[in-house]
Amino acid sequence: MDQQSYEKKIVGEKAAEYIEDGMTVGLGTGSTVAFTTKKLAERIKTEGLSIQAVSTSHATSELAKSLGIPLKDLNDVKKIDLTIDGCDEFDPDLNGIKGGGGALLFEKIVAVSSDKNIWVADASKSVRRLGAFPLPVEVLPFGWKHMFGAMEDKGLQPKLRMSGKDPFLTDSRNFILDCHVKEIEDAKSLAKWLNALPGVVENGLFINIADQVLLANNDKVDVITR
């Protein structure tokens, strides 16, 4: 296991310790949260932990089901006590970019439905300013080239995400335009501008959402609180 994979493992497993008996838990998407999900399944079996989970993607649902974690539809729960998710980048204010795995829409809906959000991150995810990681924007397939053009005119350098020879499809059957901004000066204003474009479903800027970040630091985990 390389260093980055090791960091994902220790921070992902550490996050599972924050889950308490009786909770409704949001399970995020990605390789780091996969370690959380597996550790949670282990706790359910060894400790008799009683929880129910809401998934943020088809991939997470399949993993949770395979491990015997009870899943609920978001519409069938009143609230989520805690959501644990990954991030592609986060800044000192705990704002972040998410959506590298294409699940940003469901992730954001689950996040804003949660009392508390914890992100798990390896050392590479901590940045001074957001933007080095391409910003995903989920758009309707209908008229996507017009949204592409508007983003291009704004200097966002969008690129249609592909899966082989075809456009990548999200779980909602939408496209993703990855914006190569490099450095975002005003994330809040950019998020507002993007979501005002007709046809944009959601953007990957997660602002004032994370309450804590568990950050891998070699062999230990640092807890950063907003």
Active site residues: 107
How many CB atoms are located within 10 Å of the residue 73 CB?
A: 8
According to the annotation, is 68 in a ligand binding site? no
Question: What is the rounded CA–CA span in Å between residue 222 and residue 196?
Answer: 37
According to the annotation, is 222 in a ligand binding site? no
Helix ranges (DSSP H) in the chain: 3-15, 31-47, 58-66, 104-112, 144-153, 187-195
According to the annotation, is 88 in a ligand binding site? yes
- Point out which residues pair with 54 in neighbouring strands: 26
Sheet holding 96-97, edge to edge: 89-90, 96-97, 205-206
* Burial category of 74 from C-beta neighbours within 10 Å (exposed 0-12, middle 13-18, buried 19 and up): middle
According to the annotation, is 36 in a ligand binding site? no
Structure tokens at 84: 């644990």
According to the annotation, is 93 in a ligand binding site? no
According to the annotation, is 85 in a ligand binding site? yes
According to the annotation, is 159 in a ligand binding site? no
According to the annotation, is 56 in a ligand binding site? no
According to the annotation, is 86 in a ligand binding site? yes
**Residue 200 Cα distances to 119, 159, 175, angstroms:** 25, 14, 10
According to the annotation, is 154 in a ligand binding site? no
Binding site for substrate, by residue number, is: 29-32, 85-88, 98-101, 125
